[in-house]
Amino acid sequence: MIEMWELVGENDRRYSNFSWRIRMALRHKQLEVQYRPVLLTDKASIGFSGGKTVPVIRDGDTVVRDSWAIAEYLERQYPDRPTLFGGDTGQAVARFANNWVDRTLLAIAFPLLAGDALAVQRGEDHGYFAALIERLTGLTPPALKEHQGRNAERLAKAVDPARATLKRQPFLSGNSPAYADYALFSIYQWARIVSPLDLLADDPAMRDWCDRLLDLNGGFARDTPAFR
Amino acid sequence: MIEMWELVGENDRRYSNFSWRIRMALRHKQLEVQYRPVLLTDKASIGFSGGKTVPVIRDGDTVVRDSWAIAEYLERQYPDRPTLFGGDTGQAVARFANNWVDRTLLAIAFPLLAGDALAVQRGEDHGYFAALIERLTGLTPPALKEHQGRNAERLAKAVDPARATLKRQPFLSGNSPAYADYALFSIYQWARIVSPLDLLADDPAMRDWCDRLLDLNGGFARDTPAFR
């Protein structure tokens, strides 16, 4: 069975958006997984990976870290399971979509949600995460909160290319979901888990797509501890 | 032979970025094409298409307009030629990439380049295009010019997900170019054709990728009338 290390907050919230990409990818590949929750302040527990960030997986003797690298590993290692990319070209363009999520959307979603995310950290991680927020955004969590409305608008605007696509097809990946969807979904799943804000309340195309993702695999993503 | 209607400016500049996507796609499919230049103010000449925008193609008895629809048509009609998408998933995610070019990049590139583009319009189109610029941007061409540096910075920032991808693989579509590359290329090809600005002068990853596109098919995209 594959083991996967991921962050955990208060009340067992599994809030790492990068880990959600791999949670979805593992289900897509119909692979069994044993989750290993870790705290932000407990880097030692993932030191064996050679890095300081989750997700990390161990599959037999193989350890892989970094969500994109893990997705590529799963596709290569389990070619007979449902594909995450639909071939070489699909994989290449999905890498672009994944980078768009990281560099365009997450750059907005982090300041948008970090203040709320702080409130669901476990006590041991609170100071560490508060310092991380200030280092990455230059603002204190209360100051960030004042920009939350504006950042929600920025995110809604930035996601427009996906919204336009989802008005023409049920998933970014076509008629069924694949990795590009999981990358985008990770932002909204993170929001569900850490924030009372409903980012998609007035966004039917995106909300319907998100609901389709939440319904997958018996609704396992919907059933995780979250605000909604 | 396929006929393709596209815009033309002074000194035979074929400046429509949407038409360049299809120029590249037709070469990719190894299809012969007869170009039919039209002026912005000569909508009558493409009235047979049922629309008012280029590109339009006629392939035997079939008329198709809208660059994305044309790309899908070419893939469907010529499945034995080199693929533009690499399968259904690749096509779906390429639609997202195409929408990103239209909604994120072109929204910046239009105000960035429209003032320069006005200067390469043919006399008959000058007044029409000037009015279009003011309607779409709310600014006069001289006022737009004042924002050109800022808009160039915004474009360089917005394209970051593609830049990050191209640091890891030679094309957005992987080891060889396909439609997602042609969509992105159309922005920089438009810039070459209408503006003396060199948008990629200090952007080696993007510039090297653009050079690879310009080298394709005997350098036919490089050889079109342009500033560089």
Q: Token pair for residue A120?
A: 């669901």
Largest separation between any pair of C-alpha atoms in chain A:
49
> Sheet harboring A62-65: ordered strands across?
A33-38, A2-7, A56-59, A62-65
Residues of B in contact with A169 (CB under 8 A): 92, 95
The mean of the pLDDT values for chain A is 97
Residues of B in contact with A173 (CB under 8 A): 89, 92-93
Nearest chain A CA: its distance from B28 CA (Å): 15
Q: Token pair for residue B94?
A: 């390429």
In this complex, is the C-beta atom of A158 within 8 Å of any C-beta atom belonging to chain B?
A: yes
Residues of A in contact with B178 (CB under 8 A): 89
Cα distance between residue B114 and residue B4, in whole Å: 24
Environment class of B227 (CB within 10 Å of its CB; exposed 0-12, middle 13-18, buried 19+): middle
Nearest chain A CA: its distance from B180 CA (Å): 7
pLDDT in tens, A144-153: 999 999 999 9
- Cross-chain residue pair A93–B88, CB shorter than 8 Å: no
Which residues, 6 or more positions from B136, have their beta carbon under 8 angstroms from its beta carbon?
B110, B114
- Cross-chain residue pair A174–B94, CB shorter than 8 Å: no
Does B95 score more than 90 pLDDT? yes
User: CB contacts < 8 Å between A and B, how many?
Assistant: 112
Helix (H, G, I), strand (E, B) or coil at B227: coil
Please give the pLDDT value at position A127: 96
The stretches of chain A forming alpha helices (DSSP H) are 17-28, 67-77, 88-100, 106-119, 123-137, 141-146, 148-158, 160-166, 179-194, 204-219
Please give the pLDDT value at position B43: 86
Instruction: Output phi, psi for B4, to 5 deg.
Output: -135, 125
The mean of the pLDDT values for chain B is 97
Cα distance between residue A86 and residue A88, in whole Å: 7
Please give the pLDDT value at position A43: 86
* Of the partner residues B95, B165, B180, the one whose CB lies closest to the CB of residue A165: B95
Q: Average pLDDT for residues A15-26, to the nearest whole number? A: 97
Cα distance between residue B37 and residue B129, in whole Å: 17
Residues of B in contact with A178 (CB under 8 A): 89
Q: Average pLDDT for residues B186-193, to the nearest whole number? A: 98
- Cross-chain residue pair A174–B92, CB shorter than 8 Å: yes
* Of the partner residues B92, B102, B165, the one whose CB lies closest to the CB of residue A96: B165
Does A180 score more than 90 pLDDT? yes
pLDDT in tens, B20-67: 999 999 999 999 999 999 999 998 999 999 999 999 999 999 999 999
Residues of A in contact with B180 (CB under 8 A): 93, 96
Please give the pLDDT value at position A2: 98
CA A192 from centre of chain: 11
- Cross-chain residue pair B90–A95, CB shorter than 8 Å: no
Nearest chain B CA: its distance from A11 CA (Å): 35
- Cross-chain residue pair A96–B161, CB shorter than 8 Å: yes
Residue type, position B67, single letter: S
- To test the contact with chain A by mutation, choose from B75, B91, B93 the residue with the greatest count of A C-beta atoms within 10 A, namely B93
The verdict on ipTM greater than 0.90 is yes
Res. A97 pLDDT band, cuts 50 70 90: very high
Please give the pLDDT value at position B169: 98
Sequence-ordered strand ranges (E) for chain B: 2-7, 33-38, 56-59, 62-65
Chain B segment 11-70 residues within 8 A of A by beta carbon are none
Does A20 score more than 90 pLDDT? yes
Q: Look up the pTM and report it.
A: 0.97
Residue type, position B106, single letter: L
In this complex, is the C-beta atom of A102 within 8 Å of any C-beta atom belonging to chain B?
A: yes
Sequence-ordered strand ranges (E) for B50-147: 56-59, 62-65
pLDDT in tens, B136-185: 999 999 999 999 999 999 999 999 999 999 999 999 999 999 999 999 99
Does A89 score more than 90 pLDDT? yes
Which residues, 6 or more positions from A174, have their beta carbon under 8 angstroms from its beta carbon?
A86, B88, B89, B91, B92
Res. B228 pLDDT band, cuts 50 70 90: confident
Which residues, 6 or more positions from B203, have their beta carbon under 8 angstroms from its beta carbon?
B156, B163
Helix (H, G, I), strand (E, B) or coil at B139: coil
